[in-house]
């Protein structure tokens, strides 16, 4: 078996028999693997070692129950054989359903186990992929474990998510294409084509590798031989994609969890293309895109750390292999551009394809260093250091083996609701946790869960609600919710107080972790009753306190507790809760913004401004934060600074009539009444219903 990055050919020659390009005597295709005898056993042993080592880590840190973000919805979709959120993930639902039926504890843990097994299998195949790139067994083992213990990939291996299965399919597919190029037979081309089709049917993010794969195959087109081989490869690729047919078939079969019914071809294309999320894509202004590129650089350092020094070496070694460097380079570029322009809170996982490419190239750089370092003990130490560093750096943040906070959060909500309640949620985090607890665990079947801002869980608004325009959806929501409140047949709860319709005879009080809309005849609950039974201090002492998603849930406890204290007039304790809420998640724009809003409403301008400035530093694109900073400065007498913040709010898309009206208020406070009236008139030209401008112009 040929050694790592070795070969007798002179610079720039191409081995037409084996397909190996060598630059300066360095083979980029590596040995022919899994042939038979001792070589095969050795490669399988190393691949198993990589997979088993990662599996031990994943099992030791596996989340025991439902997690936050999309975990609850994916578990429910798999368990019920439903249709998940776009792009539907049909292959995931089918395979995860098998795991959800195993007698291995809670359903959520079974599906989490599927993620761990898929991730560890992908690590084993990443070892073979790095070997196919030309690295020796020890370097390939180190490179695959460096990827296994990287922070972002590890985080997806211990919860119910789709990404570990995606990288299993991608790693095997890319390995098969490299085996085919090295002359090991057309069966590897067929295997790679089929698995790439399956990867596409599992997660649309695989399409980022499509142009690169096409380029790679075109560069090796002379190897296709007979037309029959190309036809078989295309047919198997299309066969893999046909898994998407599960979505319309399952949608028509009857009761289950279905994100949105697939009624026709247009619905299918809209769902698998992620059309629902189209407005979130490529909507950022240039400063925000540049900021996201910087965030990606920080993510690279966080995940790869000292291994980054090997990246330029890997690029240098690979750049003369136009087929392979094109495949990896195009995939990396497309993913980074897409991720930097995608407006989503957990954007890190959408950078995983480019991170995978970076880790492969880094492994090639490590192989080059191994080839050059003398004595070899230095190469062994360098190769061993990287995965050990990665493991020790990312263990703490990815250890979820005691993490039950999402389950606790959901149960605290459900157990505190009145019988036959309606609960209207705004975001996915709360909705998906409750969905799992109700539909899979069977808790509180009397409660009706309604999602106000997504297609899932929106049936109470009507069967046609999913396909209404945003304006018609808002009208339908208000009409239905007013009807529920006026009928008084069921208790009505809201996740967010601001969502409750402002109507006569209905007041809003905090009740536990949500808000209850009370009719005149209903007895008001004691806002502090829940908090006599629930102590947030005890939750914050638990060992999973470090995770940002968990910290957001803990901050929700403090927010709800503070609102309860406000309801009984205890402003000092309420402020303490709000401060603790902000302290728990200093890295969340939303939490810092909310803290600023709360202190603004309490008239504490200085503290409100501090939190709003933190929110701006975390995310410069939120026009609402800029506007509220303007209002805060205006109230505190910092009039010139208020004008600056209002100007920034306008530049970032805040309604212009409200900005002009606010300019008028500032100029009036400066004593410049003519300028103030001009601004108010301009505001009314844009929006004749601007109440603030009307009131100020009329002198009321």
395-414: pLDDT as tens digits: 998 999 989 999 999 999 99
Residue 700: pLDDT band by 50, 70, 90 thresholds?
low
Assess whether pLDDT exceeds 90 at residue 154. Answer: yes
Peptide linkage before 375 cis (omega within 30 of 0): yes
The whole-angstrom separation of Cα 699 and Cα 390 is: 65
Write down the pLDDT at residue 20: 36
User: Residue 592 corresponds to which tokens in the numbers above?
Assistant: 């810092």
pLDDT at 454 over 80: no
What number of other Cβ atoms are within 10 A of residue 534's Cβ?
17
Say if 504 falls within a structural domain. yes
Q: Residue 147 pLDDT more than 90?
A: yes
* Mean pLDDT (whole number) for 478-505: 89
**Joined tokens for residue 295:** 């965030």
- Are residues 411 and 550 located together in one domain of the fold? no
Which string of DSSP letters, residue by residue, matches 674-695? HHHHHHHHHHHHH-TT-HHHHH
Domain assignment present for 531: no
Is the pLDDT assigned to residue 19 strictly greater than 70?
no
For 175, the token pair is 């390995």
Going by pLDDT thresholds of 50, 70 and 90, the confidence category of residue 632 is very high
Residues 6+ apart with CB under 8 A from 664: 675, 676, 677, 678, 679, 680, 683, 693, 696
Q: DSSP of 558-587, one letter per residue? A: HHHHHHHHHHTT-HHHHHHHHHHHHHH-TT
pLDDT in tens, 513-533: 999 999 888 888 899 999 999
Examine the domain organization and report whether 640 and 673 are in the same domain.
yes
- The pLDDT assigned to 619 comes to 82
Q: How confident is the model at residue 543 (pLDDT cuts 50, 70, 90)?
A: low
At 505, which CATH number?
3.40.50
Q: Which of 368, 398, 428 is the last residue of a domain?
A: 398
Same domain, 499 and 576: no
> Residue 448: helix, strand or coil by DSSP?
strand
Predicted confidence band at 687 (pLDDT cuts at 50, 70, 90)?
A: very high
pLDDT beyond 70 at 683: yes
Same domain, 31 and 151: yes
Q: Is the pLDDT of residue 236 over 80?
A: yes
How many domains is the chain built from? 3
pLDDT score, position 538: 86
The phi, psi pair for 27, rounded to 5°, reads -75, 130
Does 122 have pLDDT greater than 60? yes
User: Stretch 376-396: mean pLDDT, rounded?
Assistant: 90
CATH (domain of 634): 1.25.40.10
Identify the pLDDT of residue 35: 41
Cα angle: 594, vertex 349, 77; to 5 degrees: 90
Mean pLDDT of 341-365: 91
- The residues near 397 (Cβ < 8 Å, ≥ 6 apart) are 151, 155, 546, 547
**Does the pLDDT of residue 151 top 60, yes or no?**
yes
Cα 447 to Cα 453: distance, rounded to the nearest angstrom: 19
Question: Which whole number is the average pLDDT over 533-557?
Answer: 84
Does the pLDDT value for residue 10 go beyond 90? no
Whether 51 maps to a domain, the answer reads yes
Instruction: Give the Cα separation of 164 and 363 in Å (integer).
Output: 20
DSSP state of 425: E
Helix (H) or strand (E) holding 214, with range, is helix 210-219
**Backbone φ and ψ of 510, nearest 5°:** -70, 140
Q: 């750089």: which residue's tokens? A: 365
Do the beta carbons of residue 675 and residue 660 sit within 8 Å? no
Report residue 453's pLDDT band, with 50, 70 and 90 as the boundaries: confident
Does some domain include residue 260? yes
Q: Identify the domain containing residue 253 by its residue range.
A: 22-398
- 2 versus 320: which is more confidently predicted? 320
Question: Given a cut of 90, is residue 6 above it in pLDDT?
Answer: no
State the DSSP H helix or E strand holding residue 320, giving kind and residue range, or none if neither.
none
Question: Would 334 be classed as within a structural domain?
Answer: yes
Out of 335, 366, 398, a domain closes at 398
Least confident segment among 175-184, 314-323, 465-474 = 465-474
User: So what's the pLDDT on residue 544?
Assistant: 62
Share of the chain above pLDDT 90, in %: 65
Strand ranges, E, within 51-204: none
Maximum average pLDDT range among 272-281, 458-467, 624-633: 624-633
Q: Say what the pLDDT of residue 504 is.
A: 83
In a domain, 534, yes or no: no
Say if residue 231 is in the same domain as residue 308. Answer: yes
Residue 38: which pLDDT band, with cuts at 50, 70 and 90? low
pLDDT at 644: 95
Q: Which residue has the higher pLDDT, 35 or 678?
A: 678
Same domain, 332 and 478: no
Q: Check residue 27 and give its pLDDT.
A: 44
The average confidence (pLDDT) of the chain is: 88
pLDDT band at 545 (very low <50, low <70, confident <90, very high): low
Q: Are 31 and 177 in contact (CB under 8 A)?
A: no
| 16 within a domain of the structure (yes/no) | no
Statement to judge: residues 381 and 261 lie in one domain = yes
* pTM for this prediction: 0.88
Report, as an integer, the average pLDDT of 681-699.
89
Tokens, residue 154? 């590890």
Torsion of CA 116, 119, 124, 125, to 10 degrees: 150
Mean pLDDT of 338-352: 87
Q: pLDDT by residue (tens digit) across 212-228?
A: 999 999 998 888 877 88
Confidence (pLDDT) at 611? 97
Q: List helix spans (H) across 602-690.
A: 605-618, 623-635, 639-651, 656-669, 673-686
For 45-95, what is each residue's pLDDT tens digit? 999 999 999 999 999 999 999 998 889 999 999 999 999 999 999 999 999
**DSSP-derived 3-state class of residue 281:** strand
Is 430 found in the same domain as 374?
no
Do 139 and 97 fall within a single domain?
yes
- Which of residues 353, 375, 398 is at a domain's end? 398
Phi, psi of 519, rounded to the nearest 5 degrees: -80, 165
Pick from 250-264, 326-340, 472-486: least confident: 250-264
Are 49 and 199 in contact, with CB atoms under 8 Å apart? no
Q: For residue 431, is it within any domain?
A: yes
Element spanning 451, H or E: strand 448-451
> Same domain for 393 and 416?
no
pLDDT score of 276: 77
Most confident of 330-344, 350-364, 373-387, 454-468: 350-364
* Mean pLDDT within 461-487: 88
Q: What is the DSSP string of 225-261?
A: -SHHHHHHHHHHHHHHHGGGGHHHHHHHSSSS-BSS-
Identify the band that residue 239 occupies on the pLDDT scale cut at 50, 70 and 90.
Answer: very high
* Other CB atoms within 10 Å distance of the CB of residue 451: 24
pLDDT value, residue 106 = 94
Give the pLDDT of residue 274. 82
User: Is the same domain home to 250 and 321?
Assistant: yes
At residue 540, the pLDDT reads 81
Give burial (CB, 10 Å; 0-12/13-18/19+) of 27: buried
User: Is the domain of 691 the same as that of 646?
Assistant: yes
* pLDDT tens sequence across 568-625: 999 999 999 999 999 999 989 999 999 999 999 999 999 999 999 999 998 887 889 9
Angstrom distances, CA of residue 664 to CA of 454, 638, 648, 678? 38, 15, 16, 8
CA dist 268 and 277 (Å) reads: 14
């Amino acid at each position: 078996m040929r050694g790592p990055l070795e070969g007798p050919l002179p610079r720039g020659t191409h081995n037409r028999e084996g397909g190996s390009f060598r630059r300066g005597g360095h083979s980029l295709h590596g040995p022919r693997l899994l042939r038979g005898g001792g070589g095969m056993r050795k490669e399988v042993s190393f691949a198993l070692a990589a997979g088993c080592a990662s599996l031990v880590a994943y099992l030791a840190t596996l989340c025991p129950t439902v997690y936050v973000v999309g975990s609850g919805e994916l578990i429910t979709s798999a368990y019920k054989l439903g249709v998940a959120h776009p792009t539907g993930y049909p292959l995931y639902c089918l395979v995860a359903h098998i795991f959800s039926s195993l007698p291995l504890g809670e359903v959520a843990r079974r599906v989490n186990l599927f993620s761990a097994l898929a991730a560890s299998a992908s690590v084993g195949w990443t070892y073979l992929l790095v070997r196919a790139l030309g690295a020796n067994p020890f370097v390939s083992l180190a490179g695959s474990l460096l990827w296994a213990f990287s922070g972002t990939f590890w985080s997806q291996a211990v919860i119910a998510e789709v990404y570990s299965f995606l990288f299993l399919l991608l790693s095997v597919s890319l390995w098969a294409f490299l085996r085919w190029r090295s002359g090991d037979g057309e069966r590897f081309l067929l295997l790679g084509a089929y698995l790439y089709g399956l990867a596409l049917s599992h997660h649309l993010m695989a399409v980022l590798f499509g142009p690169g794969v096409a380029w790679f195959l075109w560069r090796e087109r002379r190897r296709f031989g007979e037309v029959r081989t190309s036809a078989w490869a295309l047919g198997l690729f299309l066969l893999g994609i046909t898994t998407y047919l599960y979505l319309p078939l399952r949608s028509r079969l009857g009761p289950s969890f279905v994100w949105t019914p697939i009624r026709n071809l247009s619905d299918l294309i809209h769902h698998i293309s992620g059309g629902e999320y189209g407005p979130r894509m490529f909507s950022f202004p240039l400063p925000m895109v540049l900021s996201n590129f910087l965030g990606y650089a920080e993510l690279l350092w966080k995940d790869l750390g000292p291994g980054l020094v090997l990246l330029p070496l890997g690029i240098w070694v690979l750049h003369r292999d136009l087929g392979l460097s094109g495949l990896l380079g195009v995939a990396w570029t497309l993913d980074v551009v897409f991720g930097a322009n995608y407006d989503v809170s957990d954007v890190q996982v959408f950078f995983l394809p480019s991170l995978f490419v970076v880790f492969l190239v880094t492994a090639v750089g490590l192989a080059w260093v191994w080839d050059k370092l003398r004595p070899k003990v230095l190469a062994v130490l360098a190769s061993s250091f990287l995965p050990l560093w990665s493991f020790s750096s990312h263990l703490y943040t990815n250890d979820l083996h005691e993490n039950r906070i999402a389950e606790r959060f959901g149960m605290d909500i459900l157990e505190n609701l009145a019988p036959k309640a309606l609960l209207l949620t705004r975001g996915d985090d709360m909705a998906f946790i409750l969905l799992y607890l109700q539909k899979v665990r069977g808790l509180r079947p009397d409660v009706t869960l309604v999602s106000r801002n997504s297609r899932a869980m929106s049936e109470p608004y009507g069967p046609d609600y999913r396909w209404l325009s945003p304006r018609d959806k808002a009208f339908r929501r208000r009409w239905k919710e007013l009807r529920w409140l006026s009928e008084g047949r069921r208790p009505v709860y809201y996740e967010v107080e601001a969502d409750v319709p402002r109507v006569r005879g209905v007041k809003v009080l905090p009740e536990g972790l949500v808000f209850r809309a009370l009719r005149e005849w209903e007895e008001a609950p004691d806002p502090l009753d829940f908090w006599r039974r629930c102590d947030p201090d005890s939750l914050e002492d638990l060992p999973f306190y470090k995770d940002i998603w968990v910290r957001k849930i803990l901050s929700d406890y403090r927010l709800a507790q503070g609102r309860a204290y406000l309801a009984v007039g205890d402003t000092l304790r309420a402020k303490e809760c709000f401060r603790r809420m902000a302290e728990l998640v200093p890295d969340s724009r939303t939490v810092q913004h909310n803290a600023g809003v709360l202190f603004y409403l309490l008239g504490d301008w200085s503290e409100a401004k501090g939190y709003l400035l933190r929110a701006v530093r975390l995310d410069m694109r939120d026009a609402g934060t800029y506007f509220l900073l303007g209002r805060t400065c205006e109230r505190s007498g910092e009039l010139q600074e208020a004008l600056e913040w209002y100007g920034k709010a306008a530049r970032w898309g805040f309604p212009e009539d409200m900005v002009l009206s606010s300019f008028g208020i500032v100029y009036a406070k400066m004593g410049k009444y003519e300028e103030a009236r001009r601004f108010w008139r301009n505001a009314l030209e844009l929006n004749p219903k601007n109440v603030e401008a009307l009131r100020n112009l009329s002198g009321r």
